[in-house]
Amino acid sequence: METISLEHGSGGLLTARLVQDLVYQYFDNEYLLEAHDSACLPAPAGRLAFTTDSYVVNPLFFPGGNIGKLAVCGTVNDLSMSGARPLYLSCGLIIEAGLPASTLEAVLAAMAEAAREAGVFIVTGDTKVVESGAADKLFIHTAGIGEVAPQTDISGKKALPGDIVIASGSLGDHGLAILLKRHHLQLSSAVRSDCQPLNGLVQSMLEACPDIRVLRDPTRGGAATALNEIAGQSQVGIELYEEQVPVGREVRAACEVLGLDPLYLANEGKLLAVVPAAAAAAIVAVMRSHPAGLDGAVIGRIINQPPGRVFMRTLTGGRRIVDMMTGDPLPRIC
């Protein structure tokens, strides 16, 4: 099998071979190997968290990751942002006929590794193959199930005036890495996607402070869009301090040259948290002791007025509005 052909998506013999010879090599757990139409799983004790995401990132491989790693981390992170412990993932593949089998294999291997890192099982899946030209190489959908502990209650509606806004690290790395790779731009030092699972970091944060109000991973639309969503859902204002927003040196430089704002670039391994002021220092300390939160920092606070608006206190002492992203500077970022 050198390339994937339409017959591999037929549901017949070649589909069975693709699944047995390739998929099961990488995704081997008792639930998946049952090979039924559905995986049958022990039910978690708490409430369920359930999420899904589609991945159409272009190019498939980029510095710091690939579509497979992204598809696992993205769904693990969406579950984590509900305060859930991620447990089970599904994986749906749409493959363009002619895709090299080695490409698929590299993607599956990355998914398996990311799942291992996050401690989740890929328990059910589906494979479709479409004609050459009917899709662009490979699309992946993952859905995920997590368990929400009884005491956990995290929601975009819970930010209160006086709360503190924290970012878990530098912003804009993923978006810029994709942009540079897609346009074959070279910098003196490489910018890598931050693509990583955040469930371990979130568990540490929740142990330190069960009262975290809001968690959000600023993917498409960047931190600016995620903060606007929180401000809207909680009907509060948000004030950011420009000098405290963590942005990597290369990212800042490249953004200046290219006329981009890192607040609108996607992240795939960072989170924003809104926490009670009394707990902020402790949470930042916990984050900085976790590999996924080494550059965690307070970046702003929740204010009363005007509801639904995000502002930036600039380095020069001014104050500007930070809007939601309109348009799309960079399609197919994830």
CA proximity to 154, closest of 77, 207, 211: 211
CB of 213 to a copy of itself, least distance (A): 13
Stretch that binds a copy of itself, among 18-26, 38-46, 159-167, 186-194 (CB under 8 A): 38-46
CB of 228 to a copy of itself, least distance (A): 9
Separation CA 198–CA 146 (nearest Å):
13
Task: Indicate the residue among 220 and 250 with the shorter CB distance to a copy of itself.
Answer: 220
CA proximity to 118, closest of 110, 107, 126, 129: 110
Stretch that binds a copy of itself, among 107-115, 135-143, 279-287, 301-309 (CB under 8 A): 135-143
SS3 94: strand
22 sits near a copy of itself (criterion: CB under 8 A): no
Tokens matching residue 254: 């490249």
Region 152-171 residues binding a copy of itself, contact defined as CB under 8 A:
155-156
- For a copy of itself (CB under 8 A), the number of binding residues is 85
41 sits near a copy of itself (criterion: CB under 8 A): yes
CB of 323 to a copy of itself, least distance (A): 8
CB of 162 to a copy of itself, least distance (A): 23
Stretch that binds a copy of itself, among 44-52, 191-199, 290-298, 300-308 (CB under 8 A): 44-52
Antiparallel, parallel or unpaired: β 164-167 and 47-55: unpaired
Region 264-293 residues binding a copy of itself, contact defined as CB under 8 A:
266
Separation CA 159–CA 233 (nearest Å):
9
Q: How far is CA 146 from CA 33, 67, 82, in A?
A: 21, 22, 9
Tokens matching residue 236: 């509060």
